[in-house]
Amino acid sequence: MQNQILKLGMVIAVVACVVFVEPVLAGSGSVTFDFGTTVRYGTPYVFGACKFPMKAQAADFYPKLKDAGVTFLRADFYFEVIIPAEKCASVEDYRNNVNGIQDSGKWDYQHLYWIDDSRKYGFKTFISATYTPTWLSYSGTHKGVPKDWAVWEDIVRKVYARYKGRVDWVETWNEVEYWGDLSGSPYTSKEDYLADNFYHTVRAIRLAGGTIPTGGFAFAWEHDDMLQRVLVRLEEKYGKAWTEANFNFYSVHRYGSDSGNVDLRNIRLAFENAGLNPNKGIFVDEWNYTTDWARRSGELYNAKAIGYTGKTLANFIKSGVNAAYFSLYPSEAVLSDTIYEDGGITMLSFYRTNGSLGTPLPQSYPFKLLSNRLGLGKGIYAVKAVRDQTVIDACCAVNCEGQRVAFIANYYDSPNTVKMTFKGLTGTRVKITDFYANTWDPACNAYRTITNPVSGGTAEQVIEMVANTCVGLILEPDPAEALIQPERQKMSR
């Protein structure tokens, strides 16, 4: 939500986060992790990030993003930068190929360096097909409606063809509420504009041989009603079969203290009411806090960001959505070289810089814990049931390697004792290894391993968590159990 972010200061407070001593506890919580009940399957693409490292820090920071468990990056094509007014003065000049402007080899792609950098390090890429070249726009701005859809298609087709095989998803437009200007155009509703923009953008991608998932519309707010109206217009104009085949995912932005609480019912209902399959992908492809919405002091950059990020990711995982944290621009940079950021602002960031070096901020630690240490970023996983959750936020899963994993985020400014109950286990003993997201161990290393008894498929464990911290656990059969079982079998003969 680029237009809503104000310049932020940066404060890093070093706070110890989890210790197994006897602190003065302000409360207590509980949670039951039921590994015997699958509620849905989850995606590794819940660990995305929006935008990209600056070129000066790219070589240093891409490996750190990989270590943090980030799985994809989202940014824009910026067509208005690819063919600026200095290269093409008018839509008539483009139609007439003045100075050979239709030759895509003459266009400017310098700002898209991040696509190849990302692919080199194994990240998938998510592209927003934005915005309109000013010479093509009815309003004369990049927010405007294209004057000629055939020219728009030609541009989209050629740019996509250049990056075909290096782009994994394409989303049409971005935040039409703020970045959609109908002035001077024949459109009287943004729904009609979005329907036509989607059709012509996707048609261009398909003409270029693109078979990747396409969707939209990166709404700034959860406009499920608007989504439904756009889908109906698409079906009326271009057919239900075409819409079903090509509208593959819905995208929305969520900023605020409860970003992870996505109402899937209304989204699914919008698809159903439009007569489409409701089980389509969902991307929350920008999420964070902003300065103007009840943000707690220090939550953007210090240890409080750990609790907020962990809580949000836990809820996204339970919902089964894809998501991208905003943003990967450095926290202290005035971004005069990043196309648009409202005249130069400091961003809600993932890292801070020192010359060519990048240091991950505390909000990156829950990513590392969930995606890397608990293995949820490695592939599709089975999301298991969480019950009786009080005080804290939690999720659990069986990852793609078959490990039972659990996660707790203490979002509060006070410590808590948490009683955990694990159900759906096998054997008579379970080995539990725990990891922590905290400021004194950014690597989120394993802290300890304990062995607990299992009775009737159930085990228990109590942990003490100080304020604003996260804990991850891997539950495995006790290795000693495998040695004991053959002896038990002998004795039972």
Question: Does the pLDDT value for residue 11 go beyond 80?
Answer: no
Greater pLDDT, 479 or 71: 71
Q: Residue 59 corresponds to which tokens in the numbers above?
A: 């070589």
**Is 50 exceeded by the pLDDT of residue 344?**
no
- Which range of 195-204, 288-297, 325-334 scores highest in mean pLDDT? It is 195-204
**Identity of residue 429:** R
Average pLDDT over residues 123-130: 98
In terms of C-beta density within 10 A (0-12 exposed, 13-18 middle, 19 or more buried), how is residue 296 classed? middle
DSSP one-letter string for 243-287: HHHH--EEEEEEESTTTT---HHHHHHHHHHTTS-S--EEEEEEE
pLDDT tens-digit series, residues 358-368: 889 999 999 99
pLDDT value, residue 120: 94
Q: Give 22-74 pLDDT, tens digit per residue.
A: 333 346 899 999 999 999 999 999 999 999 988 888 999 999 999 999 999 99
Residue 472's H or E segment, with its range, is: strand 469-477
CA dihedral 343, 346, 352, 355 (to 10 degrees): 40
Over the stretch 446-463, which tens digit does the pLDDT of each residue have? 999 999 999 999 999 999
Diameter of the chain by CA atoms? Answer: 91
CATH numbers and ranges of domains, the chain: 43-380 (3.20.20.80), 384-492 (2.60.40.1180)
Comparing 80 with 341, the larger pLDDT belongs to 80
Over the stretch 286-324, which tens digit does the pLDDT of each residue have? 998 765 455 666 666 788 889 999 999 999 999 999 999
User: How many DSSP H helices and E strands does the chain contain?
Assistant: 13, 19
pLDDT band at 347 (very low <50, low <70, confident <90, very high): low
**Sequence-separated (6 or more) residues with CB below 8 Å from residue 188:** 182
Q: Apex CA 28: angle with CA 22 and CA 33, to 5°? A: 110
Per DSSP, 5 falls in state P
The pLDDT-based confidence of 357 (bands split at 50, 70, 90) is confident
pTM for this predicted structure: 0.90
Grade residue 369 by pLDDT with cuts at 50, 70 and 90: very high
Confidence class of residue 335 from pLDDT cuts 50, 70 and 90? very low
Which region among 21-30, 241-250, 327-336 has the lowest average model confidence (pLDDT)?
21-30
pLDDT at 466 over 90: no
Q: Is the pLDDT of residue 478 over 70?
A: yes
pLDDT over 90 (residue 243): yes
Q: Going by C-beta distance under 8 Å and a sequence separation of 6 or more, which residues neighbour residue 285?
A: 48, 50, 74, 126, 171, 218, 251, 252, 253, 322, 323, 324
